[in-house]
C-alpha cells in the first residue's frame, strides 16, 4: 500500500535496522524500544490488523509467530523468556495499521499489561 510506513520499510524505501528477512516477512528494530530487545515482525503483504485476517492467512500468521521466535533466539532471549504482543485496533493500542508482532524481551515483563 503506497502510503503505509511499514510497506515502505518492507520495500526498503524507508531505512530501518532489519534483523531478519525472508520471502514473506521482515523483522526490524522498533524505533522507540520499550525493552532492551524490541523487534517488529511484519508481513511483506499489506494486512491492516488481526481483524483483517482470514482462514487463508493461517499459514502467514503461523509464519509470523515462528519468525518472532526465530528473532528471539537470534537476540538471545528465547531461553530466558520473552513476550509477543499484537496490538489490534483503537482499544488494542494499535498506531500503525499494518499487521505487526512486537517481540519484547531482555527484561522481566509485567502483567497485567497497561
Task: Identify whether 110 is a catalytic site residue.
Answer: no
Query: Which one of the listed residues 54, 69, 100, 102 is annotated catalytic?
Result: 100
What cell numbers appear for 106 in the block?
A: 531482555
Q: How far is the CB of 40 from ligand 5GP (least distance, A)?
A: 6
Instruction: Count the neighbouring beta carbons within 10 Å of the beta carbon of residue 72.
Output: 23
Q: How far is the CB of 108 from ligand 5GP (least distance, A)?
A: 19
State yes or no: residue 7 binds Zn ion (CB under 5 A): yes
CB 37 within 8 A of CB 69: no
| Residue partners of 112: CB distance under 8 A and separation at least 6 | none
- Give the shortest CB-96-to-Zn ion separation in angstroms: 8
CB 42 within 8 A of CB 9: yes
| x-marked contacts with Zn ion along 43-72 as a string, rule CB under 5 A | ---x--------------------------
Q: 41: closest CA among 13, 15, 9?
A: 9
Q: Does residue 74 belong to the site contacting ligand 5GP (CB under 6 A)?
A: no
What amino acid positions are annotated as catalytic residues?
100
Amino acid at each position: 500500500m503506497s502510503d503505509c510506513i511499514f510497506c515502505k520499510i518492507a520495500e526498503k524505501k524507508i531505512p530501518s535496522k532489519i534483523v531478519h528477512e525472508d520471502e514473506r516477512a521482515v523483522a526490524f528494530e522498533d524505533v522507540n524500544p520499550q525493552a532492551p530487545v524490541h523487534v517488529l515482525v511484519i508481513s511483506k503483504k499489506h494486512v491492516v490488523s488481526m481483524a483483517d485476517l482470514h482462514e487463508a492467512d493461517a499459514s502467514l500468521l503461523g509464519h509470523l509467530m515462528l519468525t518472532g521466535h526465530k528473532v528471539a533466539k537470534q537476540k538471545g532471549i528465547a531461553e530466558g523468556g520473552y513476550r509477543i504482543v499484537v496490538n489490534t485496533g483503537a482499544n488494542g493500542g494499535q498506531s500503525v495499521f499494518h499487521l505487526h508482532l512486537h517481540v519484547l524481551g531482555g527484561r522481566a515483563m509485567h502483567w497485567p499489561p497497561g
